[in-house]
Amino acid sequence: MWKLNAALYNLKENGTYDKLYNKWFQVYEQRDFMDKYGFVLLISVLGFLFLLLFLLLLHLRIKVVKSRLTQSENLYRLLVQSQRDVVLNLTKNGTILYASPSFCTLVNKKADKTLSKFF
């Protein structure tokens, strides 16, 4: 019996015992799903949550920028339409894209009659 204990002690000392134990008994001591994939699952869930947070913040930022753009366009439109100077927006070949009300009054034509005409 002492020879068996001595041999077992030698196997434990040089690491062979652990290799044999894992080879033979690992079938009975399998790790569950969370032990194997818990870290990957955690990283995936955190990545998904960060993506959702990013998309939510991006959506809110777009709403703010659109609101500011609408306000700016309304102020510009009010400025152009209320001034007494003639304002025309022309293409390179001279087609009228926009004519201010003062221009329409000056040439005595309605705005829809002056658009898409050559100046």
Average pLDDT along the chain: 83
Residues in contact with 99: Cβ distance below 8 Å, sequence separation at least 6, in sequence order: 87, 88, 89, 111, 114, 115
The pLDDT score that the predictor gives to residue 30 is 60
At residue 42, the pLDDT reads: 93
In 3D space, the residue among 91, 110, 92 whose CA is nearest the CA of residue 100 turns out to be 110
**pLDDT tens, position by position, 9-38:** 777 788 787 777 777 776 555 667 777 788
Ranges assigned E (strand) in the chain: 88-90, 96-99
* Pairwise CA distance, residues 11 & 17, whole Å: 5
Give the model's confidence band at 110: pLDDT under 50 very low, under 70 low, under 90 confident, else very high.
confident
| pLDDT > 70? residue 108 | yes
Cβ atoms within 10 Å, residue 104: 16
pLDDT classification of 51: cutoffs 50, 70, 90: very high
* Domain spans, the chain: 31-82, 84-119
The pLDDT score that the predictor gives to residue 37 is 83
| CA-derived radius of gyration, the chain | 40
- The predicted-structure confidence for 52-99, as pLDDT tens digits, reads as follows 999 999 999 999 999 999 999 999 888 877 888 888 888 888 888 888
End-to-end CA gap in the chain: 115
pLDDT top residue among 17 and 113: 17
